[in-house]
Amino acid sequence: MGFLATQKISKLFRIRGGVHPHDCKTLSADKAIEDLPMPSLLHIPLQQHIGAAAKPAVKRGDHVLKGQLLANSQGMISAPIHAPTSGRVVGVGHYPAHHASGLSVHTITLQPDGKDEWVELNPPVDPFALELAEIATRVAAAGIVGMGGATFPSAVKLNLRNRYQLHTLVINGAECEPYLTCDDRLMREYSAHTIDGIRIMAYALGVENIIIGIENNKPQAQAAMREAATAFPNIQVVGLPMRYPMGSEKHLVQTLTGLETPARGLTADIGIVVHNPATALAVRDALREGKPLVSRVVTVSGGAVRQPRNLRVLLGTKVQDVIDHCEGFIVEPARLISGGPMMGNLLPAT
């Protein structure tokens, strides 16, 4: 029997393979999200997403407000960039990428003025009173991309209802990479807002059925999300076995539904769209508060880190600023990794 969009999940389906690395999450799982202090400079890459880099809309010497457009998207697979804080544009050029290559990429350098003054935002709206296409339009304008690591422009996925017969939204709260706890903390601390964002995305997709998958080493996140979803019988929070790569969307979907994504196909081919909980929260903030994407929560962890933490970091923040706030290293690290140790990128420098 195939998966029915209305059925409650009473069992999980086995997937072949996978490994069981030590999750090392206790280093930071009990650390509440805190805001990183304002850096002295922000180096904001114009390609923070899959697809075409954004095109600068400001020039050196311009004063900008927080949330102001810095760069326009270029084409369908692209995303605009907004100012993470208020300040002066001191450079529009190239800066080494936050990537293993260390190559320079198009970058806007912003010197914060310390005021953190917002631009006038779009007025809040009731997302459920909007046309479906308008939600995707607002998500695109806010520069929201997939926050689980793929950085695919989120509005494109919200428009998949035009091409596929969709029935289910799956939220990937597996966070199966060792060390990482930022999604865990986000689901614990912002569960109601995250559920709101998830419901907005499901509405935009035209689907009723919502499944939130969370690995079983995050019981507090599971409990918080279940409580926040109590009033919505179409939302299921499902515990997942602790196995890497449970966070791979095709493995996740098969585990939850028993449906296998076609080779070289998308989960949309079987009626399912997968999003990340941090993406859902960003969608909620864009629609409910008119805020573009200017920051994200990251985990700083590892045996060499003196004070592992979960930090809300402005886009464009240097890795060194993040490490310094965590009081540096106990010992010289064997390597610095952006992302988890299984799929992250080695960094040549901070």
- The first and second tokens of residue 109, run together, are 């350098």
Confidence of residue 121 (pLDDT cuts 50, 70, 90): very high
182, pLDDT greater than 70 = yes
**Structure confidence by residue, pLDDT tens digits, 288-320:** 999 999 999 999 999 999 999 999 999 999 999
- Predicted confidence at residue 17, as pLDDT, reads 84
From the number of C-beta atoms within 10 Å of its C-beta (0-12, 13-18, 19+), residue 4 rates as exposed
The strand pairing partners of 171, in sequence order, are: 212, 275
Could you give the CA distance from residue 51 to residue 146 in angstroms, rounded to a whole number? 13
| Boundaries of every domain in the chain | 25-32+127-289
50, pLDDT greater than 90 = no
* Closest C-alpha among 139, 185, 181 to residue 292: 139
Q: What is the pTM assigned to this prediction?
A: 0.95
Could you give the CA distance from residue 222 to residue 233 in angstroms, rounded to a whole number? 16
In CATH, 25-32+127-289 is 3.40.50.11540: yes
Could you give the CA distance from residue 29 to residue 27 in angstroms, rounded to a whole number? 6
Percent of the chain with pLDDT over 70: 98
**Structure confidence by residue, pLDDT tens digits, 235-252:** 999 999 999 999 999 999
2, pLDDT greater than 60 = no
**Structure confidence by residue, pLDDT tens digits, 135-174:** 999 999 999 999 988 788 999 999 999 999 999 999 999 9
